[in-house]
Structure 1
Amino acid sequence: MTLYMPLFKSCSTVKTLSQLHAHLLTTGLHKGTLASTKLIESYAKMGSLESARLVFEKFQTPDSFMWGVLIKCYVWNRFYEEAISLYHEMSCCYHETQFSSFIFPPILRACSNIGEVGIGQKVHGRIIKYGLDSDTVVQTSLLSMYGETASLSNAKKVFDEMLLKDVVSWCSIISSYLHNGKAKEGLELFRQMVSEGVEPDSVTMLSVAEVCGQFGSWILARSVHGHAVRREIQWDGSLGSSLVAMYSKCGDLYSAERLFRCSSNHSAALWTTMISCYNQSGCFQEAIDMFEEMQVSNVEPNSVTIISVLCSCARIGWLKGGKSVHCFVIRKAIDHDMERLGPALIDLYGNCGKIRDCQNVFNMVEGENIVTWNILMSVFARKGKSEDALTLFSLMHKQGLLPDSFSLASALSVCGDIGSSDLGHQIHGYVIKAGILCEFVQNSLIDMYSKSGLVDSANQIFEDIEWKTVVTWNSMICGFSQNGNSVEAISLFDKMYLNCLEIDKVALLSVIQACSHLGYLEKGKWVHHKLICNGIKGDTYIETSLIDMYAKCGALEIARRVFDNMEERSVVSWSAMIAGYGMHGQINDAISLFSQMVELGIKPNEITFMNILSACSHTGFVEEGKAYFTSMTRDFGIEPISDHYTCIVDLLSRAGDLSGAYNIIKSMSFPAGASIWGAFLNGCRIHREMDMLKRIPINLLDADYNSAGYHSLLSDIYAEGGKWDEFGKVRLKMRSAGLRKVPGCSIIEIEKRIYRFGAGDTSHSQTKEIYRFLEDFVDMAQKAGYTEKDLYTTDTGEFPRGNNVISHGERLAIAFGIINTSPGTTLRISKNLRVCRDCHSFTKIVSKLTGRTIIMRDLNRFHHFKDGFCSCRDYW
């Protein structure tokens, strides 16, 4: 039989092996254990496992070695469950003494690959029973099995019981800890290994380098690199690439470049790693330059290299370069079916706005590649083609492709963007039915429901998630903040902070926005303090949000200090500061800042002009407002939109130039909406020019505006004019359309807490004291020379009937504030509606008689009351 061994090596195909097998059958040599075992092994290596199994079954008395070979062959071909079945079959056929150590490594490998730690433990028990637990190969196999099935305590026990720990066993236990998220313990084992004089090999160093990169620990990375150099550990391509990637992840791109340049073996993998490092650091042009250098060096790129370069082109929107790479792919026949490169090309063309090219690439790719579908759906969503994205999602489902978490998250995101909660509900049902409740999808559900205004449904999902990540907390905080649930947003942020979770910029921006909505100054200051303590500065978005927050909380001086200390100011930052001055009625400062902005060469945008026009409207600066409105188109090429027209119509209407306001409405190239007509109607109401309404060619009552504010204003105008039929029609229309007047709500901040009051509120624990103060204040005001008309004159000039005006939320908040604070304390109040005229007069009197400064923010602007005067000069 020994003579036939070279013939086995010469068999390169199943056909030649079959011919040799037939010859052995003819000569009778097939009956020998060695020949049959060799046939089994040879057939398995060529992928003909059925022939190998047939040889085994024809052998009358297979020994444990032959069983072991067959089991190993099944493991080679990744038939792990079948290998385990063979092991059980062998266990039933053979006596314990016939088991050898050769059997166990492959069966333990099978247990690892299918995650069957239970079967692996039973195999371990049999190993101990047969006295094979001291065999080094078996021990190393046990280490790998326990490590790969995340059973670290068992792995450590096996390792500790090993008498001889070689570099392979050390590498196995270290890798087990590192790859199961126990980086600290793994690195400690590495230190122990080195201290015991065991020299790590390149495989061990590879694992350690990967973890250093994950930690982002530059000091540890330098130590690992230094150890590899000092011990002269042979670098293969994988270790070199891993060390380069390690430095990049630690933020040391310079060391990564230097290591790359010093490497003697510039393989395709190393070039690709360096290109990826540039991408991860945002150096996309450098990544493209590196690819060009790679081509000059005559190193052939692979599909991974091409994907990285296409990513670079996509991120900088370099269409020409991306097309050049695409041509290179076609010319070199890299991935001819586009299965791997298709998604990267779709992403490239999508980022460059070439949707048709995206679809062309998509049509070239095999339809079973779900990644390609996901990328195209993502492109549609990013480019605002929501219907196309949902159509693609539906088509994917119809073709039998089961959506994965990315597909579902993209579809849910689109549903949130277009407010399609019905489809979102259906997708949610599918998610529950399919059991795809991963973090990615759950966060997308929270986002979808929040954007659809169903914040309670979003919160229910949030509460049901047992293990919440930082992203999950951020999603819910953003959901609350975006839906006006500012108190809930701040409360959830506080809970997140108390749970010692990492607070990132997303959460901070959301809570700053919530503080802005509430006018919650103390909490805003606290958040700002945490930003400073954590060294977060120089972020334009956060600093601009702080400007907006301080301005809306009445702390305009602090807002200006934040603005002045900014290292870099965007046009949004300038606009926010101008808006702050405008809402506080400081028109001269707003104009000065606008002029300074233009002189510095910063071009104002639509928002900037809306803010400066609004500032002019709040203060009655008619000529300046008209000049800005003209300059917007003439000097900066910005066509006015509805918001700009609303500002200029409001400015002219408030100033009494109703004819000018009406002429502007007539000159518009699009129909006026509810906000524009509302501004005009309010001007007519203020100046008692109701005859102007007769000149309007449209029936204001029949106008199809889905605005409760507009209809409320129109009904009030009809009521003041005694036109009760029209008043009734407006109210009937509001009821039939489901439009409700927004209930008034006032908020006051006292000792770092906020308190809410609605009109006629009696829910507070100090209700009796609040109403008693208001009654006593009437007597105090009258003794000071004020009349009831001074205190309660409404917009109609009549004394109010009932207790409605007397118990407005801002009055209750003021009374509560005076009762619960020491004399001289400034009261800060926020109201979600425009302050009515009689409450404005009342607050002026309060500030005079109590010596208090009262800062009140209503829907439109700030009012600073002091010594009986208001900063708005009764113009608002």
Structure 2
Amino acid sequence: MTLYMPIFRSCTTSKTLRQLHGHLLITGLHRDALASTKLIESYAKMGILESARLIFDSFPRPDSFMWGVLIKCYVWNLFFKEAISIYHELLYQQTQLTNFIFPSILRACSGFGDVGVGEKIHGRIIKSGFESDEVIKTSLLCMYGERGSLNVARKMFDEMPVRDVVSWSSIISSYVRNGQPQEGLVVFCRMLSEGIEPDSVTMLCVTEACAEMRFLRLAKSVHGKIVRWGIENVGSLENSLIVMYSKCRDLASTERLFEKVSSRSAVSWTALISCYNEMTLFREALEIYVQMQESGVEPNSVTMVGVLHSCAQLGWLREGMSVHCFVIRKGLDPDFDLVGPELIGMYAGCGELGACRKVYDSIRVKNIVSWNSLISVYARKGLSMEALRLFVQMQIQGLFPDSFTLASSLSACGHIGFSQLGCQIHGHIVKTGFDSNEFVQNSLIDMYSKCGFVDTALMIFEKIQRKSIMTWNSMIGGFAQNGNSIEAVGLFDRMLFEGLKMDKVTFLSAIQACSQLGYLEKGKWVHHKLITCGLENDSYIDTALHDMYAKCGDIRMARGVFDNMVERSVVSWSAMIAGYGRHGHINAAISLFSQMVRSGIKPNEVTFLSILSACSHAGSVEEGKFYFNMMREFGIEPELDHFACMVDLLSRAGDLGGAYRFIKSMPVPANASVWSALLNGCRVHHRMDMIRSIQSYILEIDIETDNSGHYTLLSNIYAEGGNLDEFGKVRSMMKNMRKVPGYSTIEINTKIYKFGAGDTSHSQTKEIYRFLEDLKCLAQEQGYNLGSDPPDESPKESNVDSHSEKLAIAFGIVNTRPGTTLRISKNLRVCMDCHTFTKIVSKITGREIIMRDLNRFHHFFNGSCSCRDYW
């Protein structure tokens, strides 16, 4: 039989092997155990397991070695479940076990993912007396490590009397593959200190750890050791080094190594494509893919994932579809389990949500990644209910959500304010132990914040012991979104005090909070801090900055930031135009709009809303009509907000009949905001005769909502006209509605002070009210009569003498030097009485008072207002 061994090695095709098999049958040598075992092994190496099994079954009494070879053959071909079944069949036959069987069957347990069977086999090993076998020990170590039982694997490793390079490599690999690369590197350092020289397999694990940690200095140090040990030219290690530098975002090193590779495989090309993607060089990544095809190297499914990512980021739908067809034609991923999720992301990035669903449906066996990809797409695109339906369906199918699923579902709940389901998901998170996952924690903070439960979000935030920058950003953003701007700025200050690193998102949230508060000095300080952190010259940040300066009343500084922007988007132009509009600078707004069009930037819906709003604030009727008609020239159909601006413009100018006809000519039904614009015009021009009909429209539209703003305006009109019966009726309708409490803030010496109507909580309350009474007496000498404006929201506000803006003004005058400009922000529309009072106070005190209300800025000086009483 030994004469046939070289012949077995020369059988490189199934045809020659079958010829040899036939010869053995003719000569009767097929009955020889060694010959049959060799045939089984040869057929298995060619992937012909049916023939291998047939030979095994036809052998009269297979020994333990033949059983072991058969198990090994199935493991070679990744048929792990079948290998475990053969092992159980072996036990049933009561064949004597040898140590040769166990390494293969333990590998099958690792591949099949059944650590329970592995533990039973471990018991069998101990019972059979093989626990001291070094090869079996290493196999057990691999099995426990690959299945995530790191404590057991480490215990076995520490108890091994002699640890060879294979054992060290195995434990390092276990840590790296289970998301603990840092621990893997600690073990590697210990290996070196004990004088064990690593091989290429060890270094494959180490380079993978460096790649996961993305520590470039460490990566270069590891590369240096590989060169010194003379193992850098191993093919798989060369590719691993390229991948390592790619993930560390070191393009120069990646390209240099790629050029040196002796034989470029699909792995090498794919790593280079991934590196370009990491560096956001998506066009260059696709150029590398073209070079790869020209070189004759066939791409694999991982390559196509990288190429699809490039297409998605560039928004290249046609090219992405071409790649999709290529994957199908080449059969690179028949089940779409790897390419499918990336295809969904590509089509989503190109706005083809229908195609996303088709790709999802084509995935034969949907794993958690497939479900997550579509749930995430739906959540990001605002299709929250569809995302949540998929979330439920996934669990019905028997799949357990992971951290990514939970985070996407929480995002969907937050988007639609579905706090009830969000709370249920929170309960599931606590039960399953995902409450310690940073990604999930941040999503919980975001969900509760968007649903208005900021206190719950804060409670979750404070319980997190190790807060990442993303966690801080989530909480600061949550405060800012809910109008808790003082708390948002306070949290930003806390970050600074604790010396924590900040990114662009942190500063964007802080700037947004300053914008809401009208917190100019603090905004300037944040701007300065932004520059010192080296985060300036970002288009998003710059847009937020000039918007903040405009909203804080410093329109000159806003224009300065805008003029210094390197790149201006349509959002930047729109924000600056809106800033001019809020300050009543109609000529500047029109000039900027013209400059924008000349520069080649196409205005969008928000741009036209900004210029129409500017025209409305200034009473520029003809200009407003001109820009409204211009919208269609740019292919933009007016929306309800644009119609509301036009109605507001016409009705404030006194053309109430024209405004009414405009509403009736609208192609879409008017909402409550449109009718309220007309209603406010009737209030300005004392047209009580039109109020009744408008009221019926508002009540009909707004009857199902809990927004009290339109009803407040209506009740105020009745009160101003002395119709207390109607005033009482409207107020009674508002009892069960959500009421926004009115408040004003004032900035003094970089601090913000907040006042509500009738506020008595301040330490200087007595002094404030005493001084306010003196101001009222002085104002009355100037012709001021205390108004009879109705309460905005609560019984405390029934006395206009204690409205929040008056308290803020009195506090500001008491606590600042004469001539200091007062900056006040109010969250609601300033009432007529307070507007009149502030004009007179500015004349009496010689102060400039800049007040921002819900609608616009009012610059009071020397008894007049920049709005010309038109707001």
- Name the TM-score, length of structure 2 as normaliser: 0.83
Q: In the TM superposition, what is the alpha-carbon distance from 1:563 to its structure 2 partner?
A: 0.6
What are the superposed Cα offsets for residues 470-524 of structure 1, whole Å, 9 maximum, x if unpaired?
2222222222211212122222233333343332222221121111111112222
2:727 aligned residue: 727
Residue 42, structure 1, aligned to residue 81, structure 2: no
**What is the rounded CA distance, in whole Å, between the counterparts of 1:665 and 1:320 in structure 2?**
43
1:161 aligned residue: none
Q: In the TM superposition, what is the alpha-carbon distance from 1:527 to its structure 2 partner?
A: 1.8
* Partner of residue 756 from structure 2, selected from 750, 755, 758: 758
Residue 302, structure 1, aligned to residue 300, structure 2: yes
2:595 aligned residue: 596
Q: Is the 8 A contact 1:744 1:758 kept in 2?
A: yes
Please tell me the residue identity of whatever aligns with 2:784.
D
Residue 181, structure 1, aligned to residue 182, structure 2: yes
What are the superposed Cα offsets for residues 603-633 of structure 1, whole Å, 9 maximum, x if unpaired?
2222222222222222233333333233333
1:276 aligned residue: 274
Please tell me the residue identity of whatever aligns with 1:532.
I
Q: How does 1:354-503 map to 2 (within 5 A)?
A: 354-437=352-435, 438-503=437-502
Q: In the TM superposition, what is the alpha-carbon distance from 1:435 to its structure 2 partner?
A: 3.9
Q: 1:422 to 1:367 in 2, by over 3 A?
A: farther
Residue 257, structure 1, aligned to residue 262, structure 2: no
**What is the rounded CA distance, in whole Å, between the counterparts of 1:204 and 1:103 in structure 2?**
19
Residue 813, structure 1, aligned to residue 827, structure 2: no
Q: Is the 8 A contact 1:578 1:612 kept in 2?
A: yes
Please tell me the residue identity of whatever aligns with 1:518.
L
Q: 1:237 to 1:178 in 2, by over 3 A?
A: farther
Please tell me the residue identity of whatever aligns with 1:22.
R
Superposition RMSD in Å: 3.8
Q: Is the 8 A contact 2:273 2:289 kept in 1?
A: yes
Q: Is the 8 A contact 2:232 2:238 kept in 1?
A: no
What are the superposed Cα offsets for residues 38-64 of structure 1, whole Å, 9 maximum, x if unpaired?
456435424432465568x655xx9xx
* Partner of residue 237 from structure 2, selected from 236, 239, 243: 239
Q: Which moved more, 1:697-706 or 1:281-290?
A: 697-706
Q: 1:827 to 1:78 in 2, by over 3 A?
A: same
**What is the rounded CA distance, in whole Å, between the counterparts of 2:181 and 2:796 in structure 1?**
73
**What is the rounded CA distance, in whole Å, between the counterparts of 1:802 and 1:446 in structure 2?**
34
Q: Which moved more, 1:547-556 or 1:739-748?
A: 739-748
1:840 aligned residue: 835
Q: Is the 8 A contact 1:109 1:141 kept in 2?
A: no
**What is the rounded CA distance, in whole Å, between the counterparts of 1:78 and 1:828 in structure 2?**
71
Q: 1:264 to 1:701 in 2, by over 3 A?
A: closer
**What is the rounded CA distance, in whole Å, between the counterparts of 2:479 and 2:466 in structure 1?**
20
Q: Is the 8 A contact 1:477 1:507 kept in 2?
A: yes
**What is the rounded CA distance, in whole Å, between the counterparts of 1:671 and 1:19 in structure 2?**
83
**What is the rounded CA distance, in whole Å, between the counterparts of 2:133 and 2:692 in structure 1?**
105
Q: 1:21 to 1:118 in 2, by over 3 A?
A: farther
**What is the rounded CA distance, in whole Å, between the counterparts of 2:763 and 2:330 in structure 1?**
79
1:334 aligned residue: 332
Q: In the TM superposition, what is the alpha-carbon distance from 1:355 to its structure 2 partner?
A: 3.9
What are the superposed Cα offsets for residues 553-572 of structure 1, whole Å, 9 maximum, x if unpaired?
11222211111110011111
Q: Is the 8 A contact 2:172 2:206 kept in 1?
A: no
Q: 1:403 to 1:115 in 2, by over 3 A?
A: closer
Please tell me the residue identity of whatever aligns with 2:543.
T
What are the superposed Cα offsets for residues 695-730 of structure 1, whole Å, 9 maximum, x if unpaired?
769565555354422212212222333434433332
2:107 aligned residue: 76
1:870 aligned residue: 865
SS in 1 for 2:61: helix
SS in 1 for 2:634: coil
What are the superposed Cα offsets for residues 273-332 of structure 1, whole Å, 9 maximum, x if unpaired?
122222222233333333333233222222212222233333333333333333333332
* Partner of residue 316 from structure 1, selected from 314, 317, 329: 314
**What is the rounded CA distance, in whole Å, between the counterparts of 1:58 and 1:623 in structure 2?**
99
Q: 1:638 to 1:711 in 2, by over 3 A?
A: same
Please tell me the residue identity of whatever aligns with 2:828.
L
**What is the rounded CA distance, in whole Å, between the counterparts of 1:177 and 1:318 in structure 2?**
36
Please tell me the residue identity of whatever aligns with 2:314.
I
Q: 1:333 to 1:487 in 2, by over 3 A?
A: same
**What is the rounded CA distance, in whole Å, between the counterparts of 1:774 and 1:795 in structure 2?**
18
**What is the rounded CA distance, in whole Å, between the counterparts of 2:62 and 2:144 in structure 1?**
38
Q: 1:72 to 1:218 in 2, by over 3 A?
A: closer
Q: Is the 8 A contact 2:388 2:412 kept in 1?
A: yes
Residue 22, structure 1, aligned to residue 61, structure 2: yes
**What is the rounded CA distance, in whole Å, between the counterparts of 1:121 and 1:322 in structure 2?**
45
SS in 1 for 2:800: coil
Q: Which moved more, 1:585-594 or 1:716-725?
A: 716-725
Residue 792, structure 1, aligned to residue 786, structure 2: yes
1:513 aligned residue: 512
| Structure 1, unpaired ranges of 5+ | 25-35, 128-132, 151-174
Q: 1:820 to 1:724 in 2, by over 3 A?
A: closer
Q: 1:115 to 1:454 in 2, by over 3 A?
A: closer
**What is the rounded CA distance, in whole Å, between the counterparts of 1:111 and 1:45 in structure 2?**
19
**What is the rounded CA distance, in whole Å, between the counterparts of 1:649 and 1:779 in structure 2?**
39
**What is the rounded CA distance, in whole Å, between the counterparts of 1:714 and 1:102 in structure 2?**
86
Please tell me the residue identity of whatever aligns with 2:584.
G
**What is the rounded CA distance, in whole Å, between the counterparts of 1:667 and 1:802 in structure 2?**
39
Residue 288, structure 1, aligned to residue 286, structure 2: yes
| Structure 2, unpaired ranges of 5+ | 4-31, 42-51, 74-82
1:616 aligned residue: 615
Q: Which moved more, 1:818-827 or 1:351-360?
A: 351-360
Q: 1:524 to 1:368 in 2, by over 3 A?
A: same
Q: In the TM superposition, what is the alpha-carbon distance from 1:147 to its structure 2 partner?
A: 5.0
1:343 aligned residue: 341
1:709 aligned residue: 709
What are the superposed Cα offsets for residues 212-250 of structure 1, whole Å, 9 maximum, x if unpaired?
555656666666656656775442333332333344444
Please tell me the residue identity of whatever aligns with 1:309.
V
Please tell me the residue identity of whatever aligns with 1:651.
L
**What is the rounded CA distance, in whole Å, between the counterparts of 1:178 and 1:717 in structure 2?**
65
**What is the rounded CA distance, in whole Å, between the counterparts of 2:150 and 2:352 in structure 1?**
50
Q: Is the 8 A contact 2:182 2:213 kept in 1?
A: no
Residue 586, structure 1, aligned to residue 613, structure 2: no
Q: Is the 8 A contact 1:853 1:865 kept in 2?
A: yes
Q: 1:504 to 1:795 in 2, by over 3 A?
A: same
**What is the rounded CA distance, in whole Å, between the counterparts of 1:756 and 1:672 in structure 2?**
36
Please tell me the residue identity of whatever aligns with 1:721.
G
* Partner of residue 646 from structure 1, selected from 644, 647, 662: 644
Q: Is the 8 A contact 2:282 2:313 kept in 1?
A: yes
1:504 aligned residue: 503
Q: Is the 8 A contact 1:116 1:149 kept in 2?
A: no
1:153 aligned residue: none
**What is the rounded CA distance, in whole Å, between the counterparts of 1:231 and 1:147 in structure 2?**
19
**What is the rounded CA distance, in whole Å, between the counterparts of 1:639 and 1:23 in structure 2?**
81
Q: 1:358 to 1:570 in 2, by over 3 A?
A: closer
**What is the rounded CA distance, in whole Å, between the counterparts of 2:634 and 2:158 in structure 1?**
82
SS in 2 for 1:537: coil
Please tell me the residue identity of whatever aligns with 1:712.
T
Q: 1:794 to 1:23 in 2, by over 3 A?
A: closer
Please tell me the residue identity of whatever aligns with 2:106.
V
- Name the TM-score, length of structure 1 as normaliser: 0.83
Q: Is the 8 A contact 2:172 2:185 kept in 1?
A: no
